[in-house]
A and B are shown apart, each in its own frame.
Chain A
């Protein structure tokens, strides 16, 4: 490995728990990888220097904590809780239906060896993404969700990550396998309670088999001074539907990667994101959708409101492979800068190798329409309220993509 002088992250980590060949392979791979610099095209607007410089502590036992804020009120869900990166049996629901598998990693590995071996690490990009390789090498906890054929899970599964101590580093892993004709909704939330300077590096692999449907809602409301890297890797087979909504409420450093391979015909894929940063927060959303087969549709909508000295990055890539005809791919990114010192960098990309396609992207960066504010003022609404109203309306377009009303309310409360 290219030993960076200031890379304390690596020295804070130790391998433990899960014994998997994949871990050792990734560890070997990691030795040959470099951490990104500003010269790395995919990281040109996001520096990881600060993260690497910090010293962290790795936990192996769950804290006992109260969780009132982290559970979505009246959301009908099975909760799975990880505290400081460690599974908490006490806080998690244990009685879910027999037909599904919902297990933590070390245990799942004992009971579902063959299933895990045929999927786990199958689509993670260890060789391209150093933080994924890092996760594969060092993860020791995680959640495995398997929905067998034709099972439509009514309740959601809510995976809650919460940090309660300072300087916690955790590499957490999720594996979701939705078999043919199955349906599942997963909520993944990241939060911290009185914790600072933590780094959560989460990797999720999702297999959406033929005719299956998977929806993921990610809610990121880390306290300031915390760092979060979230990578979601998806593989879709024919006639499947996948949707992911990402709401970033806070966190000093947030990097989201969503990478979808659409490897079957007649699929629908959807990615939505909302980020509302303040202070010196930095949020970076990188999405990539690869259309490998014909007759598919994808939609993407990312919106951001940036205040103070915050910075936002949006990089969305749409790739249509040779012979993937009749693809419709639409991407939109809209940003509002509320302060002079806020910065937005957008980089929407289209790479098209087939001809019978309809692809478009658009991005706007600006501030509120003065006309609209004036109009509201003439109707007796103060300037401040008018702005607030418009921000809400702006954000609602994304929040409305979340199917569950309970979750929508919860996100809105967090945004306030």
Chain B
């Protein structure tokens, strides 16, 4: 008998979170809640210098004067900050010289995620900075990178080893006054990644970080700072998965990219935090501020595949300050069940001859809501600026929603801006054509959706593209309405 829509719906409902498991590692936590004391504890535990403590405390003061924002089409119960543990580091926390020293439980976790360090090392030559509940556990390929002068380490390590760089650039792209969650992050960030590519260096391998939220009730506040010095190039991968949890977990990261003259940064994300169950229970709140600044002739390219989180609020942005700089944003966002995603980008054209491209593909299924929200601003001095935006939405069920809110502001007559958006149902003709050729409905949908997202998936580095494709398939299995 034919695979009916009801079967498909049932499949969807039954589909469990593939990576939903918890690693059994002792964690060292500090008491719940957010006060000046919390901030001081975090800072002292990490043995931070005075200036950084000051930075955190300033941010805390800013934060305390702010109110949590409300957004259209994203409704949720606001996380109670007093109920969150702001710091949790896996124990034992000691310097690790090689992977062998990593807790076998953690290695097992990684294996189940299909990202075992060994495998990755062997097969792809990727250097991985693995972050488990905010503290960097193992960093590989460090020496090899060291020879080139590339610094790739945990944020706390950078504070100790390269304070001058951290001090110079921290908060220059995302000031702690930027928004509610950026202020929060600036006050309590636990750890993250730091990366510096020296002048004229082309980083020979993809740098990669895997984030995972492990400890129940832990807020995760990573901080990433990436500096590409003049004429350098780096491709950075960031992947996230979180184990299944019944209570909502807050994730408020800040990522700052600095591309100096003639530098190029390619930043790719595959985000698969736990989305909550079919009833909308649990799941990660993903409130992230990502922004990069481009100096002369520099280029920043954001690519993201977002399939996870109960709520995603994320606008990787580019400040195109230098003349001839280029910003790109390629995004695929899939929402299913009760997920809500509000994502997009901001392209701020300041320099002359700046160019930006935005390709956004939203796919909504179940009862989810998927919104694109973006800003393209052409400043007065941005002569000959160019922007092209294409925002498409694909609807899988009659219970989901897809929304598009682009803001286009142009203050310079020599600019050229083009924005296009479409919303439509998955094509019946296409489905039937596939089926006539013997491709079943499920497979047909996955084929069509992957084709639809191709433009973006193509921008991902090879190793990621396969995983992303798999994630799309998993998130949409049986999502026919």
Contact = CB atoms under 8 A, between A and B. Distances in A.
Nearest to B73: A351
B398 A325 contact: yes
A355 B425 contact: yes
Contacts of A389: none
Interface stretch (B226-234, B323-331, B345-353, B402-410): B402-410
Interface in A326-384: 335, 337-367
Interface residues of B, number: 34
A297 to B, nearest CB: 14
Contacts of A355: 395-398, 400, 425, 481
B404 A361 contact: yes
B419 A364 contact: yes
A351 B400 CA distance: 11
Interface residues of A, number: 36
B422 interface: yes
B407 to A, nearest CB: 5
A337 to B, nearest CB: 4
B424 interface: yes
A351 B395 contact: no
B416 A359 contact: no
Interface in B394-433: 395-425
Nearest to A331: B421
A366 B397 CA distance: 37
A347 B413 contact: no
A90 interface: no
A194 B86 CA distance: 68
Nearest to A319: B403
Given A323-B398, A357-B395, A352 B407 contact: no
B272 interface: no
B424 A349 contact: no
Contacts of A346: 406-410, 419
Contacts of B248: none
Contacts, number: 116
B269 interface: no
A349 B404 contact: yes
B422 A360 contact: yes
Interface in B357-415: 393, 395-415
Q: Report which residue of A337, A347, A355 has the largest number of chain B beta carbons within 10 angstroms of its beta carbon.
A: A355
A337 B419 contact: no
B413 A337 contact: yes
Contact of A359 (B73, B412, B423): B423
Contacts of A342: 413
A352 B397 CA distance: 12
A339 B420 CA distance: 24
Contacts of A362: 418-421
Given A351-B401, A355-B398, A367 B413 contact: yes
B110 to A, nearest CB: 38
Contact of A347 (B393, B408, B424): B408
Contact of A345 (B399, B403, B408, B414): B408
A360 B419 contact: no
Given A340-B412, A345-B407, 17 more contacts: A45-B409, A337-B413, A339-B413, A343-B410, A346-B409, A346-B410, A347-B406, A347-B407, A349-B403, A350-B402, A350-B421, A352-B402, A353-B401, A359-B422, A363-B419, A364-B417, A367-B416
23 contacts: A45-B409, A337-B410, A340-B412, A343-B411, A345-B408, A346-B407, A346-B409, A348-B421, A349-B403, A352-B395, A352-B401, A354-B395, A355-B397, A357-B424, A358-B423, A358-B424, A359-B423, A360-B421, A362-B419, A363-B417, A364-B418, A364-B419, A366-B416
Interface of B: 73, 393, 395-425, 481
Interface of A: 45, 322-323, 325, 335, 337-367
10 tightest CB-CB pairs across the interface, nearest first? A337-B413, A355-B395, A366-B416, A346-B408, A350-B404, A360-B422, A365-B417, A359-B423, A362-B420, A355-B398
